[in-house]
Structure 1
Amino acid sequence: MKDAYIVSAVRTPIGRFGGSLKDHTPVELAAHAMAAALERAGVEGKHLDLYIFGNILRAGQGQLIPRQAALKAGIPKEVDGFAVDMVCSSGMMSLIQAATTIRAGEADIVLAGGTESMSGTGFYLSSRARWGYKFLMGADEQVMDLLLHDGLTDPTTGEAMGVQTERLAAEHEITRVDLDAIAAASHQRAAQAWESGAFDAEVAPVPLRSRRGPDELDRDEGIRADTTAESLA
């Protein structure tokens, strides 16, 4: 089997929920990362054999988000691609699929990654809305939050992600003190990495539409350098 190599790794900054990137669709974010990755690798889109992108929250975003993004990034329509949904592992599974495809000799150059916008997730009415309501007495129509339903709830158990976390922490005897220490260290290390320039080469700043504030988002929004285990307790 052939070896597979990563020749370019690019991402957008990570935005806060409802933050600077809330008006950017997953298509726009993916297209931005795609174009930047190709540019930094010195590869033209026409030379791609395939693109594979992970995505979960796609309701209301149109068909095949990776295809929309690829065309927006200037990749020719002759180059094909597909989406992967393995929930939180979707982006990583896209990379694994890309490497496997190359090693199997089915492709030489593959663009892989993932895209998501929790801020851009909408709401949903059931199929009853399509066929009309005879009456609603005793059978109210609930507006469903797609972020909660499609992104943060286990359909097999009905548990919200936070509830599952509490249960698994108890099962594995992981304490709140342990988790707070890990969370605080994560914030502090991320802040240190930004200050040292460790992320500079991998982040492609995203232009912002707002006329207020900076013209682009060039670093992760959710990092709190002053976070301590005590402040989280």
Structure 2
Amino acid sequence: MTFSNGRLNLWGLPKDFLEDIKMKLNDLCAHFVPLLELPLSDFTELLRALKEQSDHFDITKYPEMIERSALYDDSGVNAEILKARAGPGGGLNADPFLAAFFLTALLVNGGRKDVAHRTWRAWHMHVAGSVLTGWGDNPKFDIKTCPLTGQHLFGNAFKVILGDEHIARTIEEIRISSAQFAEIQYDGGAVSRFEGSGHKLRSSTGVSTTIALSGAAIASIADLLKQ
């Protein structure tokens, strides 16, 4: 029995069986414990909070974003992303999208009560230098893309990195600041910067923090996801 990119070779096996053998998000979190040196309870509590607040993954919760919704159509984030199939073999499959989304939630830091809101905001940060002006029937967009991943949104760039172990190995650090920006540092110090669109990630205390994920950890997670 052989595997290729996490998928069983075609032996005529039922689709449900193929789903059952995929790594689940809970399994990936167990790998995070030694990799990120955090207790498993941190991950289980974070996942629980995200599920409980999943209605915040709907763009209609962000009125100021709706006029620009076309920019976010391909983000993949919606209120259904953390709903898993019940029963044997159920649970959330660990893929680059969910791994990137969960790690973004981990990096935004702060309390659990609004973590879904802050995660949505961080995921949808756009490449610095993009111009988003105009509303209604006359929007004016000058969209920049990340030179490493070709993506406009931070979350989509993170997903591309975790989905390609070769790109992942070029990463030196990914960091998110509560002062409305995220950065992907790669390939000898090059930096792709993403910024919030008129919103604030800063905590109510007025103190900004930056949480970083090392390149070594990112490469290891990308390797896990391809198994």
- For the pair shown, the structure with the greater C-alpha radius of gyration is 1
Flag whether TM exceeds 0.5 (same fold).
no
Higher relative contact order, chain-length normalized (CA < 8 Å, sep 6+): 1
